[in-house]
Every structure is written in structure tokens, then in C-alpha cells.
Structure 1
Amino acid sequence: MDNPFTSEFYTATWLKIFKPKAKERRFKAFGNLSFYKAKYFPIYTVSGADSSKGITYSLEAGKERLGNKAFVIYDFPNYYVRPSDFYKGKLNCWVTEQHTGFLTDLTQYENLEDYLKTNFKSKTRNRIVPLKRRLESCFDIEYKTVEQISRGDFEVIYSRFYELLKKRFNQKQDFCVTLNDKDWEFFKKTSFEFINNGSAVLFLVLANKKIIGVSYGHFLDDNFILAHTVFDTDYSKFNVGKTQLVKLTQWCFEKGIKKCDFSKGYFHYKSQWGNTKYSFEYHIFYNRFSIFSKAISCSIYSFYSIKNFLRKVGIDESVNKIRFLLKRENAPMTYTFHFNPIEVKDAKSLGPNINPVANNPSSIMERAKIEFAFKYNAIMKGISAFEKPDSKSSFYISYQQQFYEGTINHPK
């Protein structure tokens, strides 16, 4: 399948949102790549810049008058063969590694069971499967693969997608570029198009009809690139994130996917589930017969080499923390719950003015019910919560005619 990140739709949409005054430029030497020019210098940067999850391209010798130009191509995954390795024309290329990527080469395994057995210790495997079963026993779980979508359904799902991403990154007190206004607008516009033209797919995990997990990714050749995956942190004890990855890996085997690429950016699950580490390269081309072109490209190469060094020593993590703090977002409150069985006949026996708590997906009581379901392997639909008058830190739970007094340990 053609690379979605070099498609005319993708590059035109990116330019319209991020560089509305820039004119799109194409050069025969770079095949289907699109560029835009810097304001003051003859520097041409690939359209999409670093928004893509992997740029692949070809070169054609002797197809262009290059003059003093320099060209910058972002995010070439180096498990592909570099076009410049076989190029014999006027162009020369600086290569600098920038981001680390992780992928799983599925051709090494017979099936999901073989993959899990080879890559995970028995202790880890014995935790993944039972927690998946517990999730499925406590909730009505649906796994949906979305390959075509209406605008209405898309808006509903992506509203929840945004909510979950924001909640997750606020919990980590980390900055998420995708949640910037322009980046989110770009992500929505391109993903709606890509899902419906068959170059991307959306995976959902629903618990009692509520979306608790969303994953989105692209097809590229025989590979699948996982662009974003997130789960509702209220369900973290159920290992929803690992369940998503198990279902995704199973789907990849069924579809004959050769590589499941977790793309750039470090998260623990990527190193845990990937069996191959690779780099995203920036390719900086210049005219070997132009001193000016070489000088400009050398300065660009030096800039990105320094940036990569700073990234390796952790400066980017500190910058992201600062960017998060500047947005003045608050990390979600973390509560712990305790439950003690009590001997009462029915709800009336709990005392006067005891009222059942209405269902509210974002309430503390909803979190308490989820915690209760996990602890007692209880069916969520059978759990009822009751407010305790004049108390903000205690409540009652009933399940299968047994009552419990619950307490909330508020964060300090």
C-alpha cells in the first residue's frame, strides 16, 4: 500500500493547517515527495515535517537543476533501505538519527501464542491472560475494529479519544503534542479520510457500552504502524492496555501483517512488546557541486545532531514537563478505596436518608465501583452504591445481597 504520509491529501492538509502561506513544491528528483520553502533561505522541508509516522521515498538521478538548494526529509525509518545508498547523481546526503522506534517482526512467530511464549516470561504471561478474563467477566466487553465510519460516529469516538489522551497525559504530568489545537485538527481530518479510504483502522474496547480503550494505526506495505493507543486509567488494574495489545497482535497475525510498528517516542510497552529497535533518520540533501548548498545543509545537520545529543541526555523530557506545567493542567486525583463487609438485611437497614448514587462515568463513586469489581471479581451491572449522609469519605456498596462499607482515601 502507498505511504499515507506522502499522499497528496496528507501533505495538502498539513500545509493548509500549519503553513497556510507556504507554496507546495515538488521536485522530480524526489519522486512523490512534497516540500515547502523556508522564508529566507533555499531550504526545502518535506511537507508534514515531523508529524508523520514514517516517510519512505525514492530518488531519480539527473532529474532536476538543484542550484543552491538544500532538502530536509524527516522520519525515515531505517529498517527500510535508504534511497541515497544507491544514488549516483548530483545530490549528496547527510544522515542524522533522531528518534528511536520499536517494532515487532511477526514473521519470526507462528501465531500469537508463540509470540507471547517467546517474548514474555511465564509470570508475565500468567498475568496478562487472567486479567483479560477478569475484565471480560466483570463487564460486557466488546472489541470493535472500525474500517469505515460515519461523520457522526467519528465525532463521538474522537471526543472520547481526546478525553482519554488528555486524562492519561495529565496523569503522567507530561505534554502531548497531538492535543495541541492545530495538531488535533490535523489528526482528526487525516484519520477520518484514512479510515474511510482503507489506509488506516481504529480499534475500540468497550465496557458496558462505554469506550475504555482506543487504538489507531496505518497500513504501510505489509506493515502496520500503531500511531496512537490509550486506555481509561480508571481501569488500569484490569491491564486494559495489555489487552489492547494482545487483540492488536492477534489481528495482525490474522491479516498477515509482517511487522507491527509502534513508531517513535518511548513508552514502556513499546520496548516490552517490540523485538526490534530502530531509528528514525533525518536526511539532509545538498548539491555536491554547490558550496553554498553544502554549507547550508551542514549547518542543518549540525543543528539536528546537537538536538539529538540533548534528547539522549534527557533534555526533551524536561522540556515536555515544563510545557505541561505551562499549560496549567492539573493531574487527576488519585484515590484509594477500602471495602469492609457489614451485616445488614437491606438498604433500608443502612439508616435514614441513604440514597442510591446515580450512574456518572466521571464520578468518584464510579471509580469505587470499578475498584470493587476488580477486587471481588464482581459483575459491574450488579453493583450498587449508596451515599452516606454527612460524609465525603465513606459510602456503602451492595452486591448480591451483601453490603459493604467503603472508605475513600483522599489524596493529600
Structure 2
Amino acid sequence: MFYKLFSFQDSRFIFDLFLENKISSFYLPVVSNNFTNKYIETGSFESKNSSKNIHIVKDVPSYLNFSLQKLNSNIKFRKVQQYKGYLVNINGFKDVTTFINDNLNKRNRKNLISKKNKLYKNHKISSKFFFGEISKDNYQSLFKAFYRLLKVRFNEKRTYNRYLSNWDTIQEVTYQKILEKEASLHVIFDNHNPIGITLNFHKGDIVFSHIQTYDINYSKYNMGDISMLHHIEWLITNKIAVFDLSMGKTYYKEKWCNHEYNFIYHIFYKKNTILSRVKMQIIVQELKLLQFLRDKNIIGKLFMFDKLLYTYKNRLVK
């Protein structure tokens, strides 16, 4: 992407909000969920009057409502729509059975029940959400298994996973968030062996699914579907309205998600600087081109950057 050759600041709205409880100070530190109109108070960071001429706030989800701060009269911004996001709107559902009957077709329901029954018949399966309480030893043991399962899974897919290279940091900061109910770890066990793990972050009546993986030896049971079944049951019980699966179009997300939303890029620039205005226009046009290529399945299907990066990094190691 050529615009990355420019000097600018950037931030990622959805990850800053759910992982850090902060958003850029271009916005008022209050966000609401459009499905329930419930408000989320958050902190803010960065300065509206940055020394950089351009600031890009990436990945602003369209289902959240918020307001801009009163900006310097010299600061303007443009919106550019990018990729789709996917979420499960659980608001109003009384139980998991009602949700499944309303949102999965007959074939998918039959397949889900069959896979679940076979899994539970052939293995000693249990499931637990660690939310508000977990011992440090158990946490470290589960994160060790989490890393191993994630690495094996993405090696099987021959796809680069950016979280693996930053795993120590993720493990370090997540423990306290689980204790403070800002995050949860969902684990499916066979006996005492973890075979499916999901890391979620919690904000108000929204749960953001951040990292999910499973033991590839259990692939025939469609472990993603089994995990989703447990999640929806737990989320309804705990009065959660939205389970956000974020970006990345997959068959799994299209099957389970009953709402698609848009990710928007906000480009803040200094209007009285010619160079800033020129850069802004270049960035806008390049982002529109990238989205056009996604819409035509050229990026994301014909060219998959994470697969290319996986191949490149493995060649470097060799």
C-alpha cells in the first residue's frame, strides 16, 4: 500500500476499545451499542492536535455510536468504507434453541446436532468459561496449550498468524483482564485436555471474539460450531446482546452471524496544508481501490496476503 510511505499516525478503533478500553481523543469517550442503546464509558489517548498532518483511525465499526470531539478549526476528516464485519445479535433471544431455530437452516441444524452428539459420545467433553476467576498456574497452562493449538492450526492452513509473534505480551496482559471481567477464556476439554480455546474481550453488553483455535485432530466434529453453541448459551444466560466476530469473511461467520456491518476508516487531516490535502486524496483513492479489489475477490481470494507472508517467512527461516 503506497500510502504507508507517507508520514502519518494511525490507530485501530475496535481493538483500542475492546482490548485497551481507550479510543482516540478525536472522539468523546462514550460509545453506545446501536442494538440496545446501552452506553460504554471508555478512556481516550493521543492528541487531537497531533504534529502529523494525517491521522488515520482504522476499523471503526458501524454498529457503534459515538460523537466527535470539538476539533480544531483546521482539522477535517473523511470517511472511507472498507471491509465487512460480522456479529451475532443475541438481543431478545431467550435461549440457544430459539436462536438456532431462527438463524440456522434445517441442514445446518441437523449437522450441528449430529456432530455434537458424536463428539460427546466418543469423548469425555466438558466446557468452561474462565471469567472473573482463574488460578495463575491454570492460566499459564491453558495459554501454553492455546499457543500450541494455534500454531499447529495455522501451520495446517499455511497462513501467517500475527498473534503468535506477540504471544508473551498477550499472555501477560490478559490474566488481569480475566480477573477484572474485561476478558474471558472459553475452553472445551476432552477429559482434562484442552481441545478448543477462545479468548474474548468484554465491553458493556458486547463480547468481542479475539482469538479462537482448536485441536486439528478433532476437525471432523466442526469444533467452531461446538464452540459457538457453548458461547451463545453462555452469552444469553449472562445477558450479552452482541457477540462480535469482527472482520474476515468465512463460511463459518456467514453461517452463524445474523448481522453484517461495515468497518470505516476515518482520515483526519489539516485542511490549510496543501501537502496534507494531497496525501488525504491519495489515501482515500487507494483505500477505495483496495476495497474494489476485495469486492471482486482479487484480494482475499486470489491474493491472500497472510498466506504469502507465511510462505515468505518460512523461506527466511530455511
Q: What does 1:155-166 correspond to in 2, within 5 Å? A: 155-166=140-151
Q: What does 1:300-379 correspond to in 2, within 5 Å? A: 300-312=283-295, 313-316=297-300, 317-328=303-314
Q: Which runs of 5+ in 2 are unaligned?
A: 29-46
The residue aligned with 2:252 is 269
One-letter amino acid of the counterpart of residue 10, structure 2: T
One-letter amino acid of the counterpart of residue 323, structure 1: L
Question: Contact 1:56 / 1:76 at 8 angstroms: preserved in 2?
Answer: no
Calculate percent identity across the aligned residue pairs: 22
Whole-angstrom CA distance in 1 between matches of 2:304 and 2:71: 42
The one-character-per-residue Cα deviations of 1:87-137 (angstroms, maximum 9, x if unpaired) are 676232111223321001112433211110011122321221232233222
Extract structure 1 runs of 4+ deviating beyond 6 A: none
Q: Pick from 5, 15, 27: which aligns with 1:59? A: 27
Closer, same or farther: CA 116–254 of 1 in aligned 2, 3 Å: same
1:304 Cα deviation (Å)?
Answer: 3.0
The residue aligned with 2:10 is 45
Q: Pick from 289, 294, 298: which aligns with 2:277? A: 294
The residue aligned with 1:211 is 194
Whole-angstrom CA distance in 1 between matches of 2:248 and 2:299: 14
Question: Contact 2:62 / 2:261 at 8 angstroms: preserved in 1?
Answer: yes
Number of residue equivalences: 285
Q: Which runs of 5+ in 1 are unaligned?
A: 1-37, 330-412
Question: Contact 1:67 / 1:287 at 8 angstroms: preserved in 2?
Answer: no
The residue aligned with 2:55 is 71
Give 3-state SS (helix, strand or coil) of 2:65's partner.
coil
Whole-angstrom CA distance in 2 between matches of 1:304 and 1:256: 37
Q: Pick from 77, 97, 117: which aligns with 1:133? A: 117
Give 3-state SS (helix, strand or coil) of 2:253's partner.
helix
Closer, same or farther: CA 260–51 of 1 in aligned 2, 3 Å: closer
The one-character-per-residue Cα deviations of 1:133-172 (angstroms, maximum 9, x if unpaired) are 3322222212111123333322221121111112222222
Is 1:282 aligned to 2:265, yes or no? yes
Is 1:192 aligned to 2:175, yes or no? yes
The residue aligned with 2:160 is 175
TM-score (normalizing by structure 2)? 0.78
Larger RCO of the pair (alpha carbons < 8 Å, separation 6+): 2
1:308 Cα deviation (Å)?
Answer: 3.1
One-letter amino acid of the counterpart of residue 163, structure 2: T
TM-score (normalizing by structure 1)? 0.62
* CA radius of gyration, larger in: 1
The residue aligned with 1:114 is 98
The one-character-per-residue Cα deviations of 1:58-113 (angstroms, maximum 9, x if unpaired) are 636xx9656773221121111113535x9676232111223321001112433211
Whole-angstrom CA distance in 2 between matches of 1:200 and 1:272: 25
Give 3-state SS (helix, strand or coil) of 1:315's partner.
coil
Whole-angstrom CA distance in 2 between matches of 1:52 and 1:59: 13
Whole-angstrom CA distance in 2 between matches of 1:157 and 1:264: 26
Closer, same or farther: CA 240–66 of 1 in aligned 2, 3 Å: closer
The residue aligned with 1:103 is 87
Whole-angstrom CA distance in 1 between matches of 2:209 and 2:195: 18
Closer, same or farther: CA 277–49 of 1 in aligned 2, 3 Å: closer
Whole-angstrom CA distance in 2 between matches of 1:143 and 1:115: 20
Give 3-state SS (helix, strand or coil) of 1:202's partner.
strand
Question: Contact 1:53 / 1:225 at 8 angstroms: preserved in 2?
Answer: no
1:197 Cα deviation (Å)?
Answer: 2.4
